[in-house]
Structure 1
């Protein structure tokens, strides 16, 4: 069951702001009528999500957006993805992003991610083997972790990082030792049992392409790596 959305609250420290730089909310509770829903977490909190159904879809994609986005900024991409691939889309908001209350951290993001998966399986009655998990940048964190907990139809990782600390090492060197490690995608990769597609642009200046290559090499299930030569970290996925 989903309910009326609440307003966000809370703040976080400067280090968390560097790791989770949430943009100014691009949408309100009145945005996307009939498509912006709220689903319950086990702790009683509510998770804003976009649910974009497609008639007679064979698959449902659970989408986890990038770091500097929220559901509003992801809406057009989700629409195009739904129509192009003829799938249902369930896009998940993170705590502290958009109109979702809470603090953006790994635990809160995973609580939201698991709530979305539970909603898809138990409320929408959609089987796990009909679900594809799709994450971009920050979104590859919850996508990878969920993929170790469920066997799904497929996993899509766009510009994945090996871990938050490793990503910071590329930018600030030894100062990254002061950053608590989280979303250890490389460590988790061997536990992914579903077919996995990794797309990592060779011009990515934020997450070096070798992060994606390392994760690809660590996955033991069926996998594919695509490395577009001209693609950067923020290149639109709606282009050719």
Structure 2
């Protein structure tokens, strides 16, 4: 039965770039390696890691001397380390984290063939390297899973009770649920994230595009609803499956999340955050910010610790109340001033409704737009079975 499941997983989920976008070559010293066809960076280690299933995967560890947290990133389909390298480097800098990325078995220069079980062994090997080679503690690790990468991410997260946090980027409920609206879990399904997410003890951030035509946004929303420790999600208006990094709110929300998780780390008690932060699981774990204006939270929300942070926009859902407040405050002003104020407040909303995300991305201080346009990180048919036209 296990062999049948692995065979189905290979047909439904995995599309490694062919040929790989990079090679591994000797570095300046005999003990070091480097990835070809990318700009060389300081504080980057290229590694080959043995997995318990007999494959050898390639990983990169990017160190940030100012970091206290480490991100373990599991990428999506039709991508490998060569294509993800620049994004990893940008995230390391702007999030102030150490970052390890790795290629699944059969991806890039990793040996073996892709399978669901191999990806579980792959992420375990990468995590073991962080612990044993770099001395990273479990409570200082943030697991980041993109698309198919949400599978190994949640599998490992469900077994690490002291994990700091999880980020789910365009995640799936399960492989079968991407293609069919099934209401139950079948034995032959793969990446049963819907069954594993309730076992995750740490805060979870979900990021999903509202116009995702590969993995519907409902997947991200249902996973968020099932989280024990919910952090304010980011639903990117107009965002598709492979372009969320182009939107300025993507990196802004990630930075806010990392900052909150970093500052609240000392409040952790056992496997969870302190009790006063977890009483209302729908509210943000960032206690500095005003909770999301949903009807089931407004009456129960706690006062913000830092009043100055209340006005800072986070997601599109918080723009409208703020705009309303600004209009009342400016009601006594001249019509010209009132119009200027309205345009200033409405600008983020207009940006999210833009039909040209790459143009918007050029204004991002993090330069994700220019970098991401140079590579294609996902096969749009990545979840179709081979009989439906995708491999």
Q: Which category describes the TM-score, using the shorter chain as reference length?
A: 0.7 to 0.9
**Aligned-pair CA distance for 1:158:** 0.4
| Aligned counterparts, 1:91-102, within 5 A | 91-102=101-112
- Runs of at least 4 residues of structure 1 off by over 4 A? 12-15
Post-superposition Cα deviations, 1:88-134, rounded to whole Å, max 9, x if no partner, equal 11001101111111111111001010111111112211101111000
TM-score by length of 2: 0.54
SS in 2 for 1:213: helix
Alignment-derived partner of residue 132 in structure 1: 142
Residue from 180, 192, 195 that aligns with 1:184: 192
**Structure 1 length as normaliser, TM-score?**
0.86
| Gap change, CA 1:190 and 1:15, over 3 Å in 2 | closer
Contact 1:216 1:224 in 2 (8 A): no
What is the count of residue pairs matched by the alignment?
224
Give the unaligned 5+ runs of structure 2. 1-5, 26-34, 249-391
Match of 2:167 among 156, 173, 195: 156
State which of 182, 202, 208 in structure 1 corresponds to 2:216.
208
Structure ID, larger Rg: 2
User: RMSD of the alignment, in Å?
Assistant: 2.2
- CA drift of 1:180 comes to 2.9
Q: Which residues of structure 1 form unaligned runs of 5+?
A: 1-11
**Aligned residue among 18, 22, 27 for 2:22:** 27
The whole-number CA distance in structure 1 between the counterparts of 2:49 and 2:116 is 19
CA distance in 1, matches of 2:207, 2:244: 13
- How far residue 154 of structure 1 moved from its aligned partner, in angstroms, is 0.9
Determine if contact 1:165/1:179 at 8 Å carries over to the other structure. no
Identify the residue that residue 3 of structure 1 maps to in structure 2. Answer: none
Cα distance change on mapping 1:131 and 1:67 into 2, 3 Å: same
